Amino acid sequence: MKLVIVESPNKCGKIKSFLGSEYSVMASVGHIREIPKDGMNIDIKGGTFEPTFVVSSGKKDVVKGLKEAAKKSDSIYLATDADREGESISQHIYDVLDKESQKKCKRITFIEITKKAILDAINKPRDIDKNWVDAQKARQVLDRLIGYKVSPWLIFQKRVKGSSAGRVQSVAMLIVCNRQREIDAFKPEDYWFLEALLKCKNGEFWGKVVTKDKDNKYTVEKIAQEDLDKLKKASYKIDKIEKSEKKNNAPPPFDTNSLQATCSSLFGWSLSKSQTIAQKLYETGKISYIRTDSFNISQEALDEVRKLIKESYDTEYLPKQAIIHIKKSGAAASASQEAHECIRPTHSSDDGHDIDDSDEQKMYKLIRDRFFACQMNPQIVDQVSYDIETDTGHKLIAKGQSIRFDGWAKAYKYSKTKEEVLPECTEKESLALKEINKTKHTTKPPDRYNEGSLAKAMEKEGVGRPSTRAGIITSIQKKGFVEKDKKSKGLIATELGMHICDLLQPNFKDFFMDIKYTAGLENDLDDIKDGKKKYLEVVKGVYDLLQKHLKDLGETGNEIQKGVNMGAKCSVCKKGDIVEKKGRFGDFLSCSNYPECKTIFTKNEDGTFKVKEKAVVKSTGRKCPECKKNGRNGELVERTNKSNGNTFIACNAYPRCKYIDGQGDGEKGKKKDYKKFVKKDKKVEPEKTTKTNETDEGSDDLDL
């Protein structure tokens, strides 16, 4: 028996149908290991900067099943996704297997779920690419270092509750906050246009009075009114006619960002919804791999779509040669993952009639139509411009255009070219004034980013990657740094988000709060992937810069915890001093000899100190079922809700275990969210969850 391991369970049936009975197909259900959240868990002291990985919560049964199946298999094909994240998951699967099973492992990748693609991949196995694994590991470690080092500075020193910092999260927030500042600083201004309805021999048309302004607007109403009065009595004639031809070239095929942005614009979908629908289409074999920033197209796919264009449309729609779309110069172009293809149908001949879900049908048609369009001839537009003169010295201009040949727009009807047909005129022809109007307008502030345009802005700046942007944008909303306007869907920086940006930017402006630096760091990660740079070189360089910034602030991680000496010795350990520290919930008194001595003190009215009495915890004599299931020794105890005084039964291993047994009323066996229960009268931000399937991007940044 041969074993194929993929990420998503939804792929298993399809791939199994291609491979037959001698293959077994299983899923890792996304990531199986993670860096524990209870601390840094990175070897900083040893100088290796290697992270500690443990099996993710809830994945023990998955890992157990994979290990048992691996032992029984003759060959093991690690078929996780064809990106750095997928390579990392393959490495983690390999690491949890026994040595005999590891000898049977081979790495395969494919960018579409078709029989040919799967069989081609199995016939061309390779080793796990350690450079790709290191690049993904570097991303995780850098996010952990910045999040866990800077977040305490915000929380403990600046007293910004609910705050966190992140390598990419903070830059995404900065982009939204900068736009917010532009909107707040914007001062509306009135302006006016003068437009005349003129009649020639063959019809009527509107002309606009030309001013010194590039948009032909008046900024002073008095001048506009004076010109209006003069033009009411003026005579008009055609001075010059200019005709030209404009070619609108075919749009490129979709990559991740442009697909999400287009779905946001056309259908009003969130990035996460677009991502979920695209994932389903990929898993059912309808489209190619969905996490890409490349416009590449395989020769086989090109040949197929060009053949279909020739059969479905007139020959004038098909270019003599295939069109090669190249990313424009800039950060986004340099970051393009050229090993991938664009997002396209796996079979261009498939019109998607068998897709049941309406949203999936919408997206598939959009992708297929765009793929056809990207290989079709340009749209040709005839443009005409009439320059009009008057006896008062004023000039007017009228512009029109009409589509001569629709070209690629024949297939892709989502993009409309506005036609404005002018009646036929001749030079020096006299015109009659039918009416002339002065219209008032007011300048508008810059548009707010929506999810799609923010992802596009991040791509333009080279911040994040296709697999991370949606997760980051979702994360800053969940954390309350940015909120979405219910009506316009625009992203608004909250007071908390603006406050965090105001604290981070001046202190880390030439570090992770510098968009160019963050984009450059993404390139460093690409260099690790390509073998141009080493993992330790990049990670240590960032850590050293981070420590320098924290030292300049006078607040490294150790200094944050040092506290203010209160001039008294610890009465328990006799070694440490009593110090006042800053905590998440305010100031508190403790021993400076922490963690050896964990004594907490209170201050008496006479200025002396006494040990704070610990709350009496009443045991129920029962073991925690959640801990028992995960191999821990938690015990259920009776606790008191500090906000309302009510009692409840919970695990004594909190915060590691958040199991709650009922609500103190004898009801048993209910697993509840500990934080939401004990603080149910307050708004609580949703907690991050471990990635459980391929549509869960998670956060690109880890924080405290």
DSSP state of 660: B
* C-alpha torsion angle, residues 264, 268, 272, 277 (rounded to 10): -90
Closest CA to 404 of 374, 369, 380, 422: 380
DSSP-derived secondary structure for 4-73: EEES-HHHHHHHHHHH-TTEEEEE--S--EE--SSS--B-TTTT--PBP-EEPTT-HHHHHHHHHHHHH-
Q: What angle do CA 359, 360, 362 make, to 5 degrees?
A: 65
Q: Which positions are catalytic?
A: 289
Tell me the CB-side half-sphere exposure of residue 682, using CA atoms within 13 A.
10
Residue 148's Cβ-count burial label (10 Å; 0-12, 13-18, 19+) is buried
Asked if 96 and 126 touch (Cβ cutoff 8 Å), the reply is: no
Q: What angle do CA 697, 451, 269 make, to 5 degrees?
A: 85
DSSP E strand stretches across 28-81: 33-34, 54-55, 75-78
Report phi then psi at 227, rounded to 5: -65, -35
Closest CA to 458 of 258, 311, 251, 687: 258
Report phi then psi at 354, rounded to 5: -90, 5
Helix (H, G, I), strand (E, B) or coil at 603: strand
Residue type, 481: F
Whole-angstrom distance, CA of residue 27 vs CA of residue 80: 9
DSSP state of 254: B
The answer to whether the peptide bond before residue 595 is cis (omega within 30 degrees of 0) is yes
Asked if 413 and 379 touch (Cβ cutoff 8 Å), the reply is: no
User: Packing angle between helix 256-267 and helix 358-373, nearest 10 degrees?
Assistant: 120
Interacting residues of 629 by C-beta distance below 8 A, sequence separation 6+: none
Closest CA to 105 of 117, 96, 114, 116: 96
Residue recorded with tokens 């905590």:
583
Helix (H, G, I), strand (E, B) or coil at 624: coil
- Strand-pairing partners, residue 209, are 396
Burial 640-673 (b: 16+ CB within 10 A, else e): bbeeeeeebbbbbbbeebbbbbebbeeeeeeebe
Closest CA to 322 of 253, 248, 379, 375: 375
Tokens of residue 331, six digits: 């950060």
Helix ranges (DSSP H) in 284-356:
299-312, 331-334
Whole-angstrom distance, CA of residue 577 vs CA of residue 571: 9
Tokens of residue 638, six digits: 């009776």
Burial 410-423 (b: 16+ CB within 10 A, else e): bbbeeeeeeeeebe
C-alpha torsion sign, points 561, 564, 565, 571: negative
Whole-angstrom distance, CA of residue 565 vs CA of residue 579: 4
